[in-house]
Structure 1
Amino acid sequence: MLLRMKFTQQRRVRLAQGLWLMSWMAVLCGAFIFTLGIYLKIELLRRAEVMDNTEIHVVPNILMMVGLASIGTNWVAGRVCQDSLDATRFPRWKVLLLAWFAVAALLCCLLVAVVVLSYALQGHLEESLKVGLRNGIRFYKDTDVPGRCFQKETIDRLQMEFRCCGNSNFKDWFEVQWVSNRYLDYTSKDVKDRIRSNVDGRYLLDGVPFSCCNPASPRPCLQYHLTDNSAHYNYEYQSEDLNLYPRGCRQALIDYYMGLMNSTGPVHLSYLWSFEINLRYLQTAVEGAMALEDPEGDSDGYLLEKGVKETFEEVKANVLNMLKFGQIDPTAASEDADTDNAKETPAS
């Protein structure tokens, strides 16, 4: 037996009570994971305007599925723990526990898949945000264009909420015209000069929108002429804190989403593994006491009835037998055909 332990009646009772409490805590954790999946899904849909694809949605979908399955399996585990000390009620769970362990193992695999996918899709998420934020900044000024009327509000709220500026940094705003033409005075010499100096005829500024300003800065925010040292008193472009958010919104959103996706997966995974191990001890200890026909006597609890290698070989043989079930044995089929031919051949 693998990792065999001796259990008295009092120790079995304490283990059952502790696992019952853990099962209901796990139900709450499952509800939290399900809620987290819904929240992440909503957040991704909210930021759809600054994202270019939806591949990352597979992560919240798995989280919601794992959360619901965790609620169901841990509720069942709580009932098992409650009935484990009743000799008349526990035997009905014996077959169901095998399915429970299989579902719990599947949940562990799905939680591992969530963690792996979140890292595997990080590149897709970054590229999606890169393209989406680039388009969002480019369409920032199009408040009169149908379909883009709320783009300015979306970008402004995003920069203020995540304390970020631009795609990679604040200099991204220097490369686009973010002031609408309806607010430009074309009779002004400065406006004409700026438009003529650009090949595409755009009004470019070395400035940023107000939403890039950091309200915690002690100095009034510098929005315009950010590369001109003479435009501001006691100001040096290379060394001065520009009173803007230094981090780009792409990195801010990546950190936010990765934090959400990886916040509970490893914790819930370790909790589920410890719960499975202790429930296995409780199951084998109770079954051992029932086999000895002494519910109040001592019994042995273990994880595996045989060694790891022997258990693996047994499971492998069972799986192969299940795969062979229903298949036609070619040797048996040829023997049956020979028998039928012999019966049909007339005697000489």
Structure 2
Amino acid sequence: MAVLKVKFTKTKRDKLAQILWILNWVSVVSGIILFSLGLFLKIEIKKRSEVMAKGDINSVPNMLISVGVIACIINFLGGKICYDCSDANKFSRWKLVMLPYIVCTFCFTFSILVGALMCYTMRNELEESLYLGLRDAIKFYKDTDIPGRCFLKKTVDLLQIGFRCCGNNGFRDWFEIQWVSPRYLNMASKEVLDRLKSNVDGKFLVDGVPFSCCNPSSPRPCIQYQLTNNSAHYNYDFLTEELNIWTKGCREALLDYYTGIMRSIGIAALLIWLFELSVLIGVRYLQTAMKNVLLLGDLEGESDGWLLENSFVETAKYNISIIKNLGKANQISTVSGINDPNINVQNTDCDKTNITTKSIPAAR
């Protein structure tokens, strides 16, 4: 029994073909939108690549870009097919192409759904990438004289100013690393030498942060050093001075930023998926209705259209049987040479098998 069977007159078939022709051109635009969203996300990730560890975070934008390009190609072809389907004589040219086209479109539509879901599942990978990338960027903040790292200081400073954040998890991350370059340390100073000797690794550690952590909305001049020493500053309590420096970590700030972008892209991709799915259903109805018209031979008469010719269970069983038969055919082809009557198999011992070919008399 056919699933969701609908009866179509010639007028309804013509209107459906015209509507699908228009919708396929709209789908070309949606493919361009998908491509643009993927390209935008890729550029945004590229902008912060210096504070991200290498990983699979580009899989989502690459997926969206690929699906967008495929959408333009498939829907352009679909528009041509639907335009010709308004004439039964022209449809005969596409009769053999329609079913493979629908199968390919179904796979492509499923890929859009996968891309939309990936926008919501890559948060963990992005968080790990940001954590490792920011950790290394802060670690090499002082290396302004080393090639390959000389721009990290500027990158981190602009990041902290732009996203109003400080450190990786928070401002205390700067207490655990030496972020002041040795070239700016006075080695003749007793205070500097004492700090270097007091650390096991010989690092110059201070309870201070770079200037980019300062909050310009603070009513007092920014306090960068001895942040946790209340007695070092007049009328100061580091637990209540929330406006002095940014307290949010850059990992959290960047994660919120990218999560917002991916959530918006995911919603757009889901809407495009629903739209493409509706177009696919319409094309399936048009294909089955036109196919039945040719079978009946009455081009002006009514015809039935459906999503599936049989029930879901019967269709699944039929497809599974096809897959099994293909597997058996491959097995038979691999051993067909052994069953050839012109080949004689002689076992000379337990470990060796000699294969000899019988002589075939020449044709007279």
TM-score w.r.t. length of structure 2:
0.79
> Which residue is equivalent to 2:152?
151
Aligned residue for 2:283? 279
Q: Which residue of 1 aligns with 2:91?
A: 90
Greater shift, 50-59 or 259-268, is seen at: 259-268
Partner of residue 302 from structure 1, selected from 296, 302, 306: 306
Q: Conserved in 1, the CA contact under 8 Å of 2:38 and 2:61?
A: yes
Change (3 A) 1:224 1:330: closer
Give 3-state SS (helix, strand or coil) of 2:89's partner: coil
Asked whether the 8 Å contact 1:85–1:286 carries over to 2, the reply is no
Whether 1:229 aligns to 2:230 is yes
| Equivalent residue for 2:272, pick from 268, 272, 276 | 268
Q: Residue in 1 aligned with 2:318?
A: 314
Distance 2:241 2:47 in 1: 35
Structure 1 match to 2:204: 203
* Conserved 8 A contact 2:215-2:243: no
**Alpha-carbon shift at residue 212 of structure 1 (Å):** 2.5
Partner of 1:250: 251
The residue number in structure 1 matching 2:164 is 163
Shift of 1:142: 0.9
Offset at 1:18? 3.2
Q: Which amino acid aligns with 2:303?
A: S
1:337 positional shift: 4.0
Shift of 1:20: 2.5
- Look up the SS of the partner of 1:300 in the other structure: strand
Whichever residue aligns with residue 250 of structure 1, its letter is R
How many angstroms apart in 1 are the aligned matches of 2:107 and 2:67?
9
Verify: 1:107 aligned to 2:108, yes or no: yes
* Offset at residue 71 of structure 1 (A): 1.3
Q: For each residue in 1:34-77, what CA deviation from the matched residue of structure 2 results, as whole angstroms up to 9, or x when unmatched?
A: 23333434444443332332333333333322222111111111
Measured at CA, do residues 217 and 13 of structure 1 come closer, stay the same or move farther in structure 2, by a change above 3 Å?
Answer: farther
1:167 Cα deviation (Å)? 1.0
**Distance (whole Å) between structure 2 residues aligned to residue 128 and residue 331 of structure 1:** 51
The letter of the residue matching 2:311 is: G
Closer/same/farther in 2, CA of residues 100 and 245 from structure 1, 3 Å limit: farther
1:78 shift after superposition = 1.4
Per-residue deviation at 1:215?
4.3
Q: Which moved more, 1:170-179 or 1:105-114?
A: 105-114
Structural RMSD (CA):
3.5
Q: Which amino acid aligns with 1:83?
A: D
Go from structure 1 to structure 2 and tell me whether the alpha carbon gap of 1:24 and 1:158 turns closer, same or farther (over 3 Å shift): farther
Q: Secondary structure at the match of 1:311?
A: helix
Residues 16-39 of structure 1: CA deviation (Å, up to 9, x unaligned): 333333222222222232233334
Quote the Cα distance in structure 2 between the aligned partners of 1:19 and 1:210: 60
Counterpart contact for 1:221–1:244, Cα < 8 Å: yes
Shift of 1:220: 5.3
How many corresponding residue pairs? 344
Structure 2: 5+ residue stretches without partners = 345-359
Give the Cα–Cα distance (whole angstroms) in 2 for the partners of residues 205 and 83 of structure 1.
75
- Kept in 2, the 8 Å contact 1:226–1:242? The answer is no
- Counterpart Cα distance in 2 of 1:68 and 1:149: 38
Partner of 1:3: 4
> Offset at 1:9?
4.1
Q: SS of 1:240's equivalent? A: coil
Deviation at 1:117, TM superposition (A): 5.2
**Residue identity in the other structure for 1:84:** C
Name the amino acid aligned to 1:4: K
Q: Structure 1 length as normaliser, TM-score?
A: 0.82
1:181-239 C-alpha deviation (Å, 9 max, x unpaired): 23334455554554444333333232222323344566654433332334555543223
% identical aligned pairs: 47
Residues in 1 aligned to 2:202 and 2:335: alpha-carbon distance in whole angstroms:
82
Change (3 A) 1:147 1:336: closer
The whole-number CA distance in structure 1 between the counterparts of 2:305 and 2:245 is 62
Instruction: Label 1:87 to 1:242 Cα distance change in 2 as closer, same or farther (>3 A).
Output: same
Which residue does 2:350 correspond to in 1? none
- Please tell me the residue identity of whatever aligns with 1:77: G
Contact kept in structure 2, 1:114 and 1:261, CA below 8 Å = no
1:212 partnered with 2:198: no
